[in-house]
Amino acid sequence: MVIEEEHVHVELAHDPLDAKASMERVGSPKAGAIVLFAGTTRDNFANLAVKQLSYDAYPALALKTLLHIARDVKSKHSLTSISIIHRLGTVPVGEESILIAVSSPHRQAAWKAGEEALELTKEKAEIWKLEEFEGDEESVWRANRDGQMGVRVDKANLNSLKEEGSR
């Protein structure tokens, strides 16, 4: 699922993300700087070993939100181009779950814009992370806003949740 405008690209993808493609997308002879942020999935939370993570989303609304964020950040920092891609479904530990690439004539704007786009995405995009732990520990829906573990999911319920995605 992609929304593409001139120099603005937002996307939700089920396949592994391609950092080089993101950089190439925002690259331009007008831009002297490209900043790429790659968020990767961590192998632990609160000292618990994470086996894998899955992301659920409200695709239509998440894309709309990402488009607003990308447009606003591009305009505020006079970027040449911006690309925000988030992965959905199961993401094995160590792989990228989000790529944000921005380009601008000079580096300061690109640094600031990259961070701002990430923070706004984490705050607003309608995407949810489910952490599955090693052993008997129950899975947990995280909430970015308070850094807490969030709501636990019992094992019986987990498989039915992972079969969603037809919405």
Partner 1 sequence: MSTLNPTPTFKILYFASCATFTRLPFESLPAPLSLRDLFPTLEKRYPGMTKRVLESCAVTVNLEYVDLEDEEVTGKGTDGEGMVIKEGDEVALIPPVSSG
- 162 annotated ligand-binding residue: no
Q: Does 9 bind partner 1 (CB under 8 A)?
A: no
Q: Does 21 bind partner 1 (CB under 8 A)?
A: no
Q: What is the DSSP code string of 77-109?
A: TT-SEEEEEEE-EEEETTSEEEEEEEEESSHHH
Q: Does 123 bind partner 1 (CB under 8 A)?
A: yes
The distance in angstroms from the start CA to the end CA of the chain is 13
Q: What is residue 7's three-state secondary structure? A: coil
Is the Cβ–Cβ distance between 144 and 151 less than 8 Å? no
Q: How far apart are CA 73 and CA 65, in angstroms?
A: 12
Encoded one letter per residue, x for contact with partner 1 by CB under 8 A and - for no contact, window 42-81 reads -------------xxxx-xxx-x-----------------
Q: Does 141 bind partner 1 (CB under 8 A)?
A: yes
Q: Choose between 15 and 146: whose C-beta lies nearer to partner 1.
A: 146
Is the Cβ–Cβ distance between 39 and 125 less than 8 Å? no
Give least dist CB 49 to partner 1, A: 19
Residue of the chain from 13, 19, 48, 118 that contacts partner 1 (CB under 8 A): 118
Give least dist CB 78 to partner 1, A: 25
Q: How far apart are CA 71 and CA 82, in angstroms?
A: 8
Residue of the chain from 83, 86, 101, 104 that contacts partner 1 (CB under 8 A): 86
Pairing status of strand 81-87 against strand 96-104 = antiparallel
- DSSP 8-state secondary structure symbol assigned to residue 166: -
- Which residues contribute to the site for partner 1 (CB under 8 A)? 39, 55-58, 60-62, 64, 86, 97-98, 118, 121-130, 141-146, 150-151, 153, 157, 160-161, 164, 166-167
Binding residues for substrate: 106-107, 122, 129-131
